[in-house]
Structure 1
């Protein structure tokens, strides 16, 4: 079972499809900046790609990547038209990198891959980056949005839970929202080894370490009370963005189906958890959808009115 979970967690994140082309509007790349922002943990700097809002708004959405985040540009830019949110009155912030990081502050560098620095993503996203954005662009340190997919969906809820002043809205798309459930720490360990040879012990220690519970949205749920949230997972059944032709396409689609089915199970459990606590959230469980970028792009645009209303953009 652990090997199955791990295989599902890893395989489809590198297998994505581009969504529809951006609508013909003003080009947000006319308001684009690429900055290298000082970061803790010995990494030196982290690349951040920024699209400024077309109306001068000082509110932003931070977009978090999945397990196989690359160091060139975010998957959100690779695979979607998310930058075009900037044409709708929201500053779009895409931090680059963080493969297998869960956007968390780690205990130590990963020794399996001789990592030369310690991930300190939570500190970066809640201290260094907002300070940089405020100082250079006048973007508010408060009342922003954070949205992530898969690994980033988990991180979005955790960041919002512990940094309520900074984030007034959180979106989790196909996130794994109960990391300390039986079998999940072990599955994540195997997945992180496959995605960059990262050692999860360097992240949060062994599965019984309190850090696993601290980063588990299921456990942290009481701290989400009153926070506007958009939480989504597909059914795992193929839909519009699943058009297999070659044998490898069918293999990739099967992986994406399994991964999304697992995400749906965890999201449904999280829905029950919030309901028992009397905490409201918007849940969207489409009848079709696998673990692919096209579905996440659709969800991002669907949540835009709620996102903007929540942060005052």
Structure 2
């Protein structure tokens, strides 16, 4: 089945996001240098309710669109699934989109070959849609712009139970994400330490609580999404910033199968006028190189810091730091291909 590509690098998948992406690039450049309303919080002690699949639409090519009602999020959400090939209980791989939340054609289904790549694999592939600029975390309070955000609860408690019940899941899970979600995958594992056997982070930044990390988070949430990080994790001194900082908690990833990758930020084999998603468009190529290169350079610094920290703590992880490569979907497709054999082994163990 053919794949339609709409914009190439995740930070600028839609033309309307170009200005925000350039703002992100400015903060990312600073990171490279530096790294040399009255809304009441909703608090409940009640046990979480189960999410319900309220609608299904089967598409050609063994693909199913679900509508899932989330009690935690107070709304229905779109979730796309490639059911496992073959019979019997199967593990599940969750793939998270980046800061655009899959909007504007910026999702794993729009930008990669996951339909064909996983067609014969005995694994349920699940791609939740939405969550733009949310960091897929549980926010302290509703946000006037981004709304009610309880993504950690939905993704780690509600959705897995619904998926396992509908698609005969065996309880073995892996999760991977790009860009913003390359941070979120670690945070979700901190939130639910027993849920994932394998974690994949492609071009993410694990540092969120130091001044530069906080600035990058704000650029995504506030500059990109128009939200307010005070509603997410509170002021900069709030312990939630440290609680959600994977860099500070690397020991809690011990024993998991971890794959982390990042490009160098210099133009690579896909950063050409005829590259995938560029297709002769000089403006797209300029953005991918000028903006995507700076973002990838900044996330690369985060990734090297995480590598050093994991070595210091004796936490095993696979790092693939490749020469050439900007903040772009074709590179992330390659990295998913590289990571999958490692994930498959972890899910089968």
Establish whether TM, by shorter chain, passes 0.5: yes
Q: Distance in 2 between matches of 1:60 and 1:29?
A: 21
Structure 1's unaligned 5+ residue stretches are 12-27
Question: Shift in Å at residue 7 of structure 1?
Answer: 2.0
2:101 equivalent to 1:69: yes
For residues 9 and 76 of structure 1, do their structure 2 counterparts lie closer, same or farther at Cα, with a shift above 3 Å needed?
A: farther
Task: Determine the C-alpha separation between the residues in 2 that align with 1:42 and 1:294.
Answer: 32
Aligned mates of 1:269, 1:230 — CA distance in 2: 15
Q: Hey, what's the Cα distance between the residues in 2 that align with 1:185 and 1:219?
A: 14
Pairs within 5 Å for 1:52-201: 52-56=83-87, 57-71=89-103, 75-83=107-115, 84-111=117-144, 113=145, 115=146, 117-140=147-170, 142-201=171-230
**Paired residue secondary structure (2:263):** coil
- Counterpart in 1 of 2:255? 226
Structure 1: distance between partners of 2:159 and 2:118: 20
Check whether the contact 1:52–1:91 (CA below 8 A) recurs between aligned residues: yes
Higher alpha-carbon deviation: 204-213 or 255-264: 204-213
The CA deviation at 1:297 is 0.2
**Alignment match of 1:49 (pick from 80, 97, 107):** 80
- Deviation string 1:187-236 (CA, Å, 9 cap, x unpaired) is 32133223221111111111211111111110121111111100000000
Cα pair 2:124 2:167 within 8 Å, conserved: no
**Cα distance change, pair 42–306 in 1 and its aligned pair in 2 (3 A):** closer
The equivalent of 1:268 in structure 2 is 304
Alpha-carbon separation, structure 2, partners of 1:298 and 1:220: 28
Answer whether contact 2:21 2:291 (CA < 8 A) is retained: no
How many aligned residue pairs are there? 291
The equivalent of 2:327 in structure 1 is 291
CA distance in 2 between partners of 1:10 and 1:92 (Å) = 34
- Report the Cα offset of residue 107 of structure 1: 0.8
Partners of 2:343 and 2:101 lie apart in 1 by 24
Maintained 8 Å contact 1:154/1:177: yes
Unaligned segments of structure 2, at least 5 residues: 1-19, 29-58, 274-280
1:251: how far off? 3.7
CA contact (8 A) 2:288 2:328 kept: no
* Structure ID, larger Rg: 2
Following superposition, which runs of at least 4 residues in structure 1 exceed 4 angstroms of deviation? 3-6, 71-74
Residues 67 and 101, structure 1, Cα contact 8 Å, conserved in 2? yes
How big is the shift at 1:86?
A: 4.0
Question: For 2:329 and 2:258, how far apart are their aligned partners in 1?
Answer: 20
Residues 191, 160 of structure 1: alpha-carbon distance in 2 compared, 3 angstrom cutoff: closer
Residues 275 and 196 of structure 1: CA distance in aligned 2, closer, same or farther (over 3 Å): same
Contact 1:10 1:191 in 2 (8 A): no
After the TM superposition, which of the residue ranges 83-92 and 173-182 deviates more from structure 2?
83-92
Alpha-carbon distance change, 124 to 248 in structure 1, aligned in 2, over 3 angstroms: closer
Determine whether 1:35 maps to 2:52.
no
Greater shift after overlay, 256-265 or 77-86?
A: 77-86
Aligned to 1:133, the other structure's residue is in SS state helix
Relative to the length of structure 2, the TM-score reads 0.78
What is the Cα deviation at residue 110 of structure 1? 1.5
